[in-house]
Amino acid sequence: MSEEKTAQTVAELASLAGARVVAGGDVLVERVASVESATSGALAFVEDGKNLELAGACRASCLVVPEGSGERAREIATQVAAVVEAARPKLAFALAAEALHPPKARAAGVHPSASVAQSAEIGDGVFVGEHVTVGERARVGAGTQLLAGARVGDGVSIGAGCVLHENVVLYDGVTLGDRVILHAGVVVGADGFGYVKDGEGVYHKFPQIGTVVIEDDAEIGALSCVDRGALGETRVGRGTKIDNLVQVGHNVRIGERVVIAAQTGISGSTVIEDDAVIGGQVGFGDHARVERGAVIGSQAGVLPGKIVRAGVWWGTPVQRLDDYKRLNAHVNSLPRLREELKELRRIVNELSARLKGEEGGG
């Protein structure tokens, strides 16, 4: 969460993204806003040339426009105090937002209501909030923030600069890298869903004694769950971003820079390689594999053991997007085909009746 603001010049912000200042490099900007809502002191952006007409009514102090806007950029510079050209305006806007809205700083210290085990190691500058629990032999890296109600189990290792929001739970033995962000209610290290049925139909729990490793710069959304490995580990790679209400099963391995949208469920031992993109409400059967660079559309269903190769995929069972479109077109044509079939039956019945009549009269 970004709550504090710090003003910077347009030139300073442009340098963060390698953007070019068209006008007003010394103008001060203190916040970001949309083109429609921006007022004096704000920075806004236009994603592509088709939306440049929105700039006419913009009241921002600075506007980021697409690279190569040329004369139109100079015209905009007569309406707002500063204009910046960027190859990727949305990225330039995001980088400026990081600088203008840094995370809320909390003074180091341990709240009186918190419970920190004597054997725990707490690094420099760590904030421990109300009713936080830190277990035996846990290690918390420098500058990490544990917000109200967070639970850190025994033997947990947390890197530097992490943020655990309210009511996050880390079960025993979990490892977090540096700068990991876990939003409210995230649970890491709960038992995986594994049972074995005996001859009488009674389910017995398969051992869930592995661990979870979440690498540097990962971020996990509110109320998501990452289960521990059964006998090995569950791993979330560096820079991966997971949305709210996502279930990651035991022994799942998620690569680096993967993006997973809300309400996705990933069954045990699935592998998702680097740079994959997973839409919302995707369901994975166990032991599936998503190869590097694959994009899976929302509400797709990936069958157990399925290999999803690079490219865009959709549907249940998941298939390449072109195949899905063709199949969808056929499905959508079924009502028309039904009516045509009814008409053909009517014609056949008429012809049959006519032939019978001719035979009877002959």
* Amino acid (1-letter code) at residue 306: K
Q: Is 149 within a domain?
A: yes
Q: Is 163 within a domain?
A: yes
CA geometry: angle at 1 spanning 191 and 225, to 5°? 10
pLDDT at res. 15: 94
pLDDT tens across the length of the chain (362 residues): 445 557 899 999 999 989 999 989 999 999 999 988 899 999 999 887 666 776 767 888 999 998 888 777 777 777 788 999 999 999 999 999 999 998 888 999 999 999 999 999 999 999 999 999 999 999 999 999 999 999 999 999 999 999 999 999 999 999 999 999 999 999 999 999 999 999 999 999 999 999 999 999 999 999 999 999 999 999 999 999 999 999 999 999 999 999 999 999 999 999 999 999 999 999 999 999 999 999 999 999 999 999 999 999 999 999 998 887 787 787 887 888 888 888 899 889 888 888 887 776 65
- If one counts every other C-beta atom within 10 angstroms of the C-beta of residue 86, the result is 22
* Phi, psi for residue 163 in degrees, rounded to 5: -130, 120
Assess contact for 212 and 155: CB atoms under 8 A.
no
Shared-domain flag, residues 113 and 96: no
Shared-domain flag, residues 90 and 115: no
Q: Is 327 within a domain?
A: no
pLDDT at res. 248: 98
Shared-domain flag, residues 267 and 140: yes
Shared-domain flag, residues 169 and 280: yes
pLDDT at res. 154: 98
pLDDT at res. 103: 85
DSSP string, 89-156: HHHHHHHHHHHHSPBPP--SEE-TT-EE-TT-EE-TT-EE-TT-EE-TT-EE-TT-EE-TT-EE-TT-
Helix runs in the chain, H state only: 10-16, 71-76, 89-100, 321-332, 334-361
Task: Using DSSP, state whether 361 is helix, strand or coil.
Answer: helix
CB-based contacts of 191: which residues, under 8 Å, 6+ apart? 205, 208, 227, 228, 250
Q: Which two tokens stand for residue 272?
A: 């998702």
Shared-domain flag, residues 39 and 72: yes
- Residue 92 CA to residue 66 CA, distance in Å, equals 10
Shared-domain flag, residues 151 and 254: yes
Edge-to-edge strand order for the sheet containing 187-190? 115-116, 133-134, 151-152, 169-170, 187-190, 225-227, 247-248, 265-266, 283-284, 301-302
Question: pTM of the entire structure?
Answer: 0.86
Assess contact for 84 and 15: CB atoms under 8 A.
no
pLDDT at res. 50: 66
CB-based contacts of 113: which residues, under 8 Å, 6+ apart? 130, 131
Shared-domain flag, residues 172 and 302: yes
pLDDT at res. 261: 98
pLDDT at res. 206: 95
Running DSSP on this structure, what letter comes out for residue 169? E
Shared-domain flag, residues 120 and 148: yes
Shared-domain flag, residues 26 and 137: no
* Per-residue pLDDT tens over the stretch 318-354: 999 888 778 778 788 788 888 888 889 988 988 888 8
* Amino acid (1-letter code) at residue 304: P
Q: Which two tokens stand for residue 279?
A: 């839409």
Peptide bond preceding 317: is omega within 30 degrees of 0, i.e. cis?
yes
Assess contact for 180 and 159: CB atoms under 8 A.
yes
pLDDT at res. 330: 78
* Per-residue pLDDT tens over the stretch 167-214: 999 999 999 999 999 999 999 999 999 999 999 999 999 999 999 999
Q: Is 2 within a domain?
A: no
Shared-domain flag, residues 312 and 213: yes
pLDDT at res. 21: 92
* Phi, psi for residue 319 in degrees, rounded to 5: -150, 165
Q: What is the mean pLDDT of the chain?
A: 92
Shared-domain flag, residues 127 and 276: yes
Q: Is 297 within a domain?
A: yes
Shared-domain flag, residues 115 and 60: no
* Phi, psi for residue 336 in degrees, rounded to 5: -65, -45
Q: Is 31 within a domain?
A: yes
- Residue 121 CA to residue 281 CA, distance in Å, equals 39
Active site residues: 250
pLDDT at res. 5: 57
Instruction: Indicate the pairing of strand 319-320 with strand 311-314.
Output: antiparallel
CATH code, domain carrying 302: 2.160.10.10
Q: Is 84 within a domain?
A: yes
Q: Last residue of a domain, which of 51, 71, 100? A: 100
Please report which helix (H) or strand (E) contains residue 29, including its range: strand 28-29
* Per-residue pLDDT tens over the stretch 100-113: 998 888 999 999 99
Number of domains in the chain: 3
Domain that holds residue 264: 109-322
Q: Last residue of a domain, which of 67, 100, 133? A: 100
CATH code, domain carrying 19: 3.40.1390.10
CA-wise closest residue to 272 among 254, 249, 247: 254
Q: Is 174 within a domain?
A: yes
Assess contact for 124 and 108: CB atoms under 8 A.
yes
